Chain A
Amino acid sequence: MALFRRSAAVAAPQPASARRTANDLRPGEAATVCCLKDPQMALKLLEMGCIPGTQVRLAGRAPLGDPLMLVLGDEEYTLSLRVSEAATIQLKD
């Protein structure tokens, strides 16, 4: 619950697009998950281990640019998700 309140509070003062998302990562670049924008999507992402504070790294994209491969956390397991889904994962600066 607190999760969504926080993301709403963060999004309020600045336009939503200002915060970088997992989709803005360059190949090979890593960053830390800050919050998840979309409540329904968040449930799926959370249970697959993509929780705020986790490190994500963009391992690469499919030949047509979408979907993309994110490597998560210390365990280094790979999730494949669409650009629209990755765009709901907001990153810490």
Chain B
Amino acid sequence: MAGAIQEARPAGPLPGTGGAAPVAERLPRLALIGNPNSGKTSLFNQLTGLNQKVGNFPGVTVDRKTGIAALGGQRRAEVVDLPGTYSLYPKSLDERVIADLLYNPLSPDYPDFVVVTVDASNLRRSLLLFSQLADLGLPAILALNMTDVAAERGIQIDLPALERELGVPVVPMNARKGVGLAALRIVMADRLAARPPAGRFWQPAAELRPLLAAIRTRFDLPNDYLALHYAHQFEQLHFLNEADRHYLTELTQEYAFDSTAQQASETVARYAHINELLLEVVTVTRTERREPASNRIDKVLTHRVFGYLIFLAILFLLFQAIFAWAQYPMDLIDQGISALSAAIQERFSGPLVRLLTEGVIAGLGGVLIFIPQIALLFAFLAVLEETGYMARVTFLMDKLMRPFGLSGKSVVPLISGLACAVPAIMGARTIESWKDRMLTIFVTPLMSCSARIPVYTVLVALVVPDESWLGIFNLRGLVLMGLYLLGLGSALLSALLLKTVLKARERSYFIMEFPVYRWPRWKNVGLTIVEKVKAFIFQAGKVIVAISVLLWVLASYGPGQRQAQAEAQVQQTAQAQRWPAAETERRVASARLENSYAGTFGHVIEPVIRPLGFDWKIGIALLTSFAAREVFVGTMSTIYSVGQDADLGTVQQKLANEKDASGQSFFTPARALSLLVFYVFAMQCMSTLAVTYRETKSWRWPLGQLVYMTGLAYAASLLVWQVFA
């Protein structure tokens, strides 16, 4: 049996093993599963450390985190981190991954055994999921986590009795502090040798036997409980084909299978069994009848006044961090890059050196300069998530979001959208209701993501003086906050608009558990930062550098003889007018750029964007920004470095130096504001469109975003320029 399963697995390199030679013996695979907030992520990080990979589950876009855990000696195992869930009956898209993985023994990801993380302070509810997994016939280990919280609450657990009742090894631990980890590794290594399945907890009712027998025969399933899950969930199992689904539809109809009622009675029966079992195992001695600290903190953090004030204060701190604190490392990176460029240009010359300094290094600088801000932002989000505060934000905001057709759960994707719309849109998967989820996905890109930060930073610093207002607020910080609020406002109003068009497919749920407040684990925060920064450098970074180089080529060369002709013409005029050499050089460069491929491109679209106050140079930047917004700064830097002195290092200096026809500064406040507003609204991110397509499985949504947001951007910029210019 096991041999047949092995053979049926695809021969190609397994995801997560990094394409290790297929000849080598496959690593044993274990899946980590548990309730949300049961410390599953901490355990995963403790087991695998920096040895992690993020990929996708086949066919869906749920993040698939895998890592290699060393179990002592030569023994290692591949660990798959599954989304948190309360039962094996999925209520959200995220949770469906679990069904796809555990119900298909032929899947390449099918685990050899599962480690179930269980919250010791809430054993009853945690054991529901465990008992379901045991009945599926999966070999399991119980990681009894958060024993510290249980002890605080006077909960004593008789471990030998629990092991006896469950029929699996139980390892008490505190995953956040790494307590019990060594014992868990030993037990895991033990399990690699022998994998006895756990005991049985519940049997489907006798009346279902004929139905389950039929399913078992057709799909060759090892037990009735797995067959029951086929009957419940066949519509959502990706690995079944049309014929299988048709068969199951007819079969369940024939036996009048009532999924809802069966699920309810199963859950109630399981709880009855678990209650009985725990009578022998758990004793609670209340030492004091004091309210738990979490509840006392909640009184402040969800207070009708202080709750919102604290939330606003945290948001303000976030913006200050991104704008003010990140400035120091950013300046260092900026200066370092321009110093490097200047040093190279001083010593060498020629077209290749110019490609290196004006193309590659300029583009690289545009990538590296983001890192401080991205790291800070994800650090903030990770801390808010880790401490349990994010759930309270959802609670505080639900009533406020509902008039706009969103729910409290939309707040987390929207706030994550401040970092990057791509993970934020994926994060919307926790919203069970289809309509709420679509609204959230559609409006999330309007939140000002970190890719807009460099555009905002450069333009705000260019036209807003670095002064304080009322002595405490930095004026630039205030303008920046205004831009973020503009993004937020437009997201909410757009949701309101779309809400009236879209029809709900099912009711929306809100119910969720409040995690207890905890200090953040800095290791988890650190790993999040490393993961996000890496993803940015290697995914967005590649595009940015490639486009920077492409742009430099487009800006340096032109169609046919046009550049040469334009240069000759300028030289003629120069001789006639007796211009100084420097002036001639500047005009030549300018003429060459204007007649390059990029310049031609910009000129073609200039009539369309002139009503917004933009010229053909900005036109080039707008076009390249459609690949990714952050390219804007790199483009501006490249375009304006052609035809200026090399010692004008930073892009801000280059822009400030740009003059219009009458010799006035080109970037007036009105023009910069028009450009800023354009970037607040415009959909200029291919990755976001791609992820929206993957998440909605329809081109209607990404196309809708593209048309709607770009239209909004054009209209808003038009308004700003016509009013202020």
Given contacts A62-B399, A69-B298, contact A85 B513 (CB under 8 A): no
Given contacts A48-B86, A69-B298, contact A1 B265 (CB under 8 A): yes
| B292 partner residues in chain A, CB cutoff 8 A | 76
Given contacts A44-B509, A63-B303, A64-B400, contact A80 B260 (CB under 8 A): no
| A64 partner residues in chain B, CB cutoff 8 A | 399-400
Query: Is residue B268 within 8 Å, beta carbon to beta carbon, of the partner chain?
Result: yes
Q: Is the CB of A47 within 8 A of B267?
A: yes
Given contacts A69-B395, A75-B124, A82-B398, contact A46 B307 (CB under 8 A): no
Q: Is the CB of B267 within 8 A of A39?
A: no
User: Chain B 371-402 against A: per-residue CB contact (8 Å), 1 yes, 0 no?
Assistant: 00000000000000000000100111011100
Q: Is the CB of A77 within 8 A of B264?
A: no
Q: Is the CB of A45 within 8 A of B121?
A: no
In the assembled complex, the CB of B198 is this many whole angstroms from the nearest CB of chain A, namely 19
Given contacts A2-B265, A60-B299, A62-B395, contact A44 B124 (CB under 8 A): no
Given contacts A42-B264, A49-B124, contact A80 B304 (CB under 8 A): no
Q: Is the CB of B124 within 8 A of A81?
A: no
| A80 partner residues in chain B, CB cutoff 8 A | 391, 394-395, 510-514
| B399 partner residues in chain A, CB cutoff 8 A | 62, 64-67
Query: Is residue B284 within 8 Å, beta carbon to beta carbon, of the partner chain?
Result: yes
Query: Is residue B153 within 8 Å, beta carbon to beta carbon, of the partner chain?
Result: yes
| B511 partner residues in chain A, CB cutoff 8 A | 44-45, 48, 79-82, 85
In Å, the complex CA distance between A3 and B271 comes to: 14
In Å, the complex CA distance between A39 and B261 comes to: 8
Q: Is the CB of B395 within 8 A of A46?
A: no
| A2 partner residues in chain B, CB cutoff 8 A | 265
Given contacts A3-B265, A51-B268, A59-B295, contact A67 B513 (CB under 8 A): no
| B91 partner residues in chain A, CB cutoff 8 A | 43-44
Query: Is residue B122 within 8 Å, beta carbon to beta carbon, of the partner chain?
Result: yes
Q: Is the CB of B395 within 8 A of A79?
A: no
Candidates A39, A42, A65, A75; contact of B125 at CB < 8 Å: A75
Query: Is residue B503 within 8 Å, beta carbon to beta carbon, of the partner chain?
Result: no
Candidates A41, A67, A77, A79; contact of B408 at CB < 8 Å: A67
Q: Is the CB of B514 within 8 A of A81?
A: no
A77 to B, closest residue via Cβ: B122
User: Chain B 494-535 against A: per-residue CB contact (8 Å), 1 yes, 0 no?
Assistant: 000000000000010111111000000000000000000000
In Å, the complex CA distance between A62 and B125 comes to: 25
Q: Is the CB of A43 within 8 A of B263?
A: yes
In Å, the complex CA distance between A1 and B261 comes to: 5
Within 8 A of A (CB), among B261-292: 261-265, 267-268, 271, 284, 292
| B298 partner residues in chain A, CB cutoff 8 A | 59-60, 69, 78
| A39 partner residues in chain B, CB cutoff 8 A | 260-261, 264
Query: Is residue B308 within 8 Å, beta carbon to beta carbon, of the partner chain?
Result: yes
B407 to A, closest residue via Cβ: A82
| A1 partner residues in chain B, CB cutoff 8 A | 258, 261-262, 264-265
In Å, the complex CA distance between A74 and B153 comes to: 10
A67 to B, closest residue via Cβ: B398
| A73 partner residues in chain B, CB cutoff 8 A | 124
In the assembled complex, the CB of B412 is this many whole angstroms from the nearest CB of chain A, namely 14
Q: Is the CB of A62 within 8 A of B261?
A: no
Query: Is residue A17 within 8 Å, beta carbon to beta carbon, of the partner chain?
Result: no
| B307 partner residues in chain A, CB cutoff 8 A | 63
Candidates B125, B260, B284; contact of A49 at CB < 8 Å: B125
In the assembled complex, the CB of B507 is this many whole angstroms from the nearest CB of chain A, namely 7
Q: Is the CB of A48 within 8 A of B513?
A: yes
| A41 partner residues in chain B, CB cutoff 8 A | 509
In the assembled complex, the CB of A84 is this many whole angstroms from the nearest CB of chain B, namely 9
Query: Is residue A14 within 8 Å, beta carbon to beta carbon, of the partner chain?
Result: no
Given contacts A80-B391, A81-B511, contact A46 B398 (CB under 8 A): no
Q: Is the CB of B260 within 8 A of A40?
A: yes
Q: Is the CB of A3 within 8 A of B268?
A: yes
| A79 partner residues in chain B, CB cutoff 8 A | 511-514
| A62 partner residues in chain B, CB cutoff 8 A | 302, 395-396, 398-399
Extra contacts, 19 of them, besides A63-B308, A75-B125, A80-B512 (Cβ < 8 A), are: A1-B261, A1-B264, A3-B264, A4-B261, A43-B263, A43-B267, A44-B91, A44-B511, A46-B268, A48-B511, A49-B124, A69-B298, A78-B514, A79-B511, A79-B514, A80-B394, A80-B513, A81-B511, A82-B510
8 contacts between A and B (CB under 8 A): A48-B511, A52-B268, A62-B395, A63-B308, A75-B125, A77-B125, A78-B513, A79-B511
Chain A residues within CB distance 8 Å of chain B: 1-4, 39-49, 51-52, 59-60, 62-67, 69, 71, 73-82, 85
10 shortest interchain CB distances as A-B pairs: A63-B304, A64-B399, A49-B125, A78-B514, A47-B87, A81-B511, A1-B261, A46-B267, A82-B510, A47-B86
